[in-house]
């Protein structure tokens, strides 16, 4: 059985990258992975990805933060019992600021934790099949084929308007 | 209404049907009759109060919707797509808004409670000639700049070779429209867009101070103007989403609109929902901390005492709590019909919010919220005027709907 070759198509336009992903299967090549420096609706549409669960982590973090912010402000005020300018010790109107800030902070924590959990990061596998330009201004489409069809796959990417990089 | 529909316009897939004009005219007639009956009754103040509230609400929707186009142009936003053109259709309400403002002069006795009060030196600012003079000039500048911006935007959409009459002839570019000329038009658009944004903030602050905050002339909040123009952008986005949803429902993808556009503008709508609540809160927290009687009475009357307290909570739920919680969800933002309902609720909520701000000053010692059938009918009348204005503009310039008129020269 001939060995498998990995080739990445590098595109400056996410529309062209999306079209290449769409046409790969029909051309008889195996799509492996897509790399994008920004979230792209076009690429996400052709990949038909399921909705991630990161949002639930963010929401949970936000709710916990909201409650924690109020709880912290109330706890601190009750510890001292100082009446300032005749205001109630537990005064909800100014505590909204603490609650809001904690909502944002814990939402971010939840979001980062959710991202790490859902993406199973850190993951050091497959780094040899990555092009740093995909963190810049290129969209990468990684595909594989039998080594005998390497020229065909390179031609496919070039025909789609991209540049082909072969991973040895 | 037949005579108002311009004839011999280029055919396109998305021009409003004549039935829309009939509906708009019917709604306007209902509102006009209700207003005239109200003014002729024993209590004309009630009708004038409804008139002022609706003038502020519907003018803000039109001004805020046009701001969307100016902002997306100056920030070089690409996501907005066909929404840019649709937002320009709201400029059709500008002449009506200006006329309605001038008409307010007839009801000045009923809508400016400070007219016969001792203003302790504020007479220099709060007097009828100066107030109407500066606000009329402000609105003229705002609407003039808005029209200039849209005229340049239309130059890129109209075909220079096509025969045109009236307003179309006025805004049509001189042939040939090469890329150099297109770039010159775009730079002019940027200039007018910037001026519109500046005028929007300045004039709407002025209107907020003069026509809303001055109802209680001894109460001052320096942030009230900003609160007023943030609110205008919030409901302007709401009006634009409703228009886009209606166009999308009737014309489908031929308009260039897609669920992604609704999702993206839904996010902006959520952002300004938060922004509106923030501008309310930053005023509240300063007044709460200061605890000065001349400042707190305004808030206490409107949020803690009957009959306004339930109305304040209703406004808070309709304009913040419900849209905030609902719009966290991603998929609902992509559903035009759902967004139409939600934005409609926010606009009605803002209508009640105007009543909450203005009502207590015009109805001292009211036992119940002064909201009757006449108020509802006048609201319907203004809705009809907005329908007529937007439909007329879209019929005159069908190119505002992207499916029937993309920019003739793409590129930078």
Smallest CA-to-CA distance from B82 within B404, B411, B412, B410 is with B404
Verify that A132 and A110 share a domain, yes or no. Answer: no
B285 CB neighbours in chain A (<8 A) are: 93-94, 96-97
Spatial separation of the C-alpha atoms in residues B84 and B66, rounded to whole Å: 8
How many domains does one find in chain A?
2
Q: What is the C-alpha separation between B97 and B93, in angstroms, rounded? A: 6
Interface test with A, best of B81, B262, B271, B285 (most A CBs within 10 A): B285
In this structure, are A41 and A16 located in the same domain? yes
Q: Are residues A58 and A112 in the same domain?
A: yes
Considering only CB atoms, B281 lies closest to which of A55, A59, A96, namely A96
Domain boundary among A92, A118, A144: A118
Determine, for residues A55 and B285 on separate chains, whether the beta-carbon distance falls below 8 Å. no
Could you tell me if A17 and A11 are in contact, meaning their C-beta atoms sit under 8 angstroms apart?
yes
Is B321 part of the contact surface with chain A (CB cutoff 8 Å)? no
pLDDT at B406: 54
DSSP letter string, B57-83 = HHHHHHHHHHHHHHHHHHTT-STTTTH
SS3 of residue B193 by DSSP:
helix
Pairwise CB contact (< 8 Å): A85 & B328: no
Structural domain span for residue A30: 4-51+125-167
Question: Do B288 and A41 lie within an 8 Å CB cutoff?
Answer: no
Residue B260: both structure tokens together: 């992604």
* Cα separation of the two ends of chain A: 18
Contact between B275 and B98 under an 8 Å Cβ cutoff? The reply is no
Q: Are residues A64 and A114 in the same domain?
A: yes
Q: Which residues of A touch B284 (CB under 8 A)?
A: 93
Residue numbers of chain A with a pLDDT score lower than 50: none
> Is the CB of B18 inside 8 Å of chain A's CB atoms?
no
Q: Return the structure tokens found at B374.
A: 């006449």
From B260, B285, B328, residue closest to A94, measured CB to CB: B285
The size of chain B, in residues, is: 412
Report pLDDT for B14.
Answer: 56
Q: Which residues of B touch A41 (CB under 8 A)?
A: 260
Residues of chain B predicted below pLDDT 70? 1-15, 176, 403-412
- Could you give the count of Cα atoms lying within 13 Å of B130 in the half-sphere of its Cβ? 9
Q: Residue B284 and residue B295: Cα distance in Å, rounded?
A: 10
User: What tokens appear for B395 in the block?
Assistant: 């019929």
B289 at interface of A, judged by CB pairs closer than 8 A: yes
Q: Does A58 share its domain with A98?
A: yes
Residue of B260, B284, B328 with shortest CB distance to A93: B284
A35 Cα to chain B: minimum distance (Å) = 21
CA of A145 vs chain B CAs: smallest distance (Å): 34
Is-contact A110 A68, C-beta < 8 A? no
A37, A142 in Cβ contact below 8 A? no
Q: Inspect the interface and report whether the beta carbons of A41 and B260 lie closer than 8 Å.
A: yes
- Residues of A9-20 as b/e, b for ≥16 C-beta within 10 angstroms? bbbeebebbbbb
Q: Which residues of B touch A51 (CB under 8 A)?
A: 330
Question: Is-contact B212 B358, C-beta < 8 A?
Answer: yes
Domain boundary among A118, A137, A159: A118
Whether residues A9 and A40 fall in one domain: yes
Q: Which residue of B has its CA nearest to A63?
A: B325
Length of chain A: 168
HEC sequence for B261-317: HHHHHHHHHHHHHHHHHHHHHHHHHHHHHHCCHHHHHHHHHHHCCCCHHHHHHHHHH
Interface test with B, best of A61, A84, A85, A93 (most B CBs within 10 A): A93
For residues B92 and B52, give the distance between their C-alpha atoms in angstroms, rounded to a whole number.
20
Instruction: Say which residues have a Cβ less than 8 Å from residue B58's Cβ, sequence separation at least 6.
Output: B93, B97, B382, B383, B385, B386
Helix ranges (DSSP H) in chain A: 14-24, 41-47, 54-80, 92-118, 150-159
- Please list, residue by residue across B281-313, b when 16 or more beta carbons sit within 10 angstroms of its beta carbon and e when fewer do: bebeeebbeeeeeebeebbebbbeeeebeebbe
Record: contact B328-A59, CB cut-off 8 A: yes
Q: Looking at the structure, do residues A42 and A62 belong to the same domain, yes or no? A: no
CATH of the domain at A11: 3.30.70.120
User: Chain A closest CA to B291's CA: distance in Å?
Assistant: 9
The nearest CA of chain A is from the CA of B329 a distance in Å of 9
In this structure, how many other beta carbons lie within 10 angstroms of the beta carbon of residue B213? 22
On the CB side of B268, CA atoms within 13 Å amount to 24
Q: B163 Cβ partners below 8 Å, 6+ apart? A: none
Chain A residues whose CB is inside 8 A of the B330 CB are 51, 55
DSSP A29-52: -EEEEEE-SS--HHHHHHHTPPPP
């Amino acid at each position: 059985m001939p060995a498998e070759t990995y080739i990445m198509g590098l595109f400056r336009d996410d529309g062209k990258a999306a079209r290449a992903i769409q046409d790969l299967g029909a051309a008889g090549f195996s799509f492996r992975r897509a790399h994008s420096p920004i979230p792209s609706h076009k690429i996400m549409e052709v990949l038909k990805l399921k909705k991630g669960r990161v949002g639930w982590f963010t929401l949970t973090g936000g709710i916990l933060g909201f409650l924690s912010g109020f709880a912290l402000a109330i706890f601190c005020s009750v510890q001292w019992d100082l009446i300032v300018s005749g205001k109630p010790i537990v005064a909800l109107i100014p505590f909204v600021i603490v609650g809001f800030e904690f909502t944002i902070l814990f939402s971010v924590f939840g979001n980062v934790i959710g991202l790490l959990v859902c993406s199973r990061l850190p993951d050091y596998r497959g780094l040899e099949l990555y092009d740093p330009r995909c963190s810049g201004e290129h969209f990468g489409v990684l595909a594989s084929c039998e080594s005998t069809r390497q020229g065909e796959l390179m031609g496919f990417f070039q025909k789609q308007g991209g540049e082909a990089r072969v991973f040895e | 209404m037949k005579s108002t529909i311009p004839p011999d316009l280029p055919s396109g897939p998305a021009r409003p049907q004549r039935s829309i004009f009939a509906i708009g005219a019917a709604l306007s007639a209902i509102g006009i009759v209700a207003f005239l009956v109200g003014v002729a009754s024993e209590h004309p103040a009630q009708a004038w109060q409804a008139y002022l509230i609706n003038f502020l609400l519907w003018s803000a929707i039109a001004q805020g919707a046009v701001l969307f186009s100016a902002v997306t142009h100056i920030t070089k936003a690409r996501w907005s797509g066909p929404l840019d053109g649709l937002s320009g259709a709201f400029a059709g309400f500008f002449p009506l808004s200006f006329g309605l403002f001038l008409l307010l002069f007839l009801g000045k006795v009923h809508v400016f409670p400070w007219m016969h009060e001792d203003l302790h030196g504020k007479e220099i600012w709060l007097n009828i000639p100066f107030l109407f003079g500066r606000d009329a000039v402000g609105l003229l500048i705002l609407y003039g700049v808005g029209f200039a911006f849209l005229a340049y935007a239309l130059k890129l959409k109209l075909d220079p070779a096509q025969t045109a009459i009236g307003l179309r002839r006025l805004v049509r570019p001189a042939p040939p429209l090469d890329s150099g000329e297109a770039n010159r038009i775009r730079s002019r658009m940027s200039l007018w867009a910037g001026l519109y944004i500046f005028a929007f903030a300045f004039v709407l602050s002025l209107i907020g101070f003069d026509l809303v905050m001055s109802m209680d002339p001894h109460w001052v909040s320096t942030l009230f103007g900003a609160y007023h123009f943030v609110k205008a952008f919030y409901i302007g986005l709401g009006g634009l989403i409703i228009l886009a949803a209606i166009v999308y429902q009737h014309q489908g993808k031929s308009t260039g609109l897609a669920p992604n556009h609704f999702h993206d503008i839904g996010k902006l709508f959520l952002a300004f929902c938060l922004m509106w609540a923030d501008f309310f809160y930053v005023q509240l927290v300063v007044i709460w901390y200061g605890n000065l009687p001349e400042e707190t009475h305004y808030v206490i009357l409107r949020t803690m005492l009957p009959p306004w307290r339930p109305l304040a909570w209703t406004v808070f739920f309709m304009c913040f709590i419900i849209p905030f919680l609902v719009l966290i969800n991603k998929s609902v933002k992509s559903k035009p019909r759902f967004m139409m309902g939600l934005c409609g609720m926010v606009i009605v909520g803002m209508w009640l919010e105007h009543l909450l701000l203005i009502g207590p000053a015009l109805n001292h010692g009211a036992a119940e919220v002064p909201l009757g059938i006449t108020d509802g009918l006048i609201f319907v009348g203004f809705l009809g005027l907005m329908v007529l204005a937007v439909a007329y503009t879209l019929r005159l310039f069908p190119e505002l709907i992207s499916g029937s008129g993309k920019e003739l020269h793409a590129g930078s």
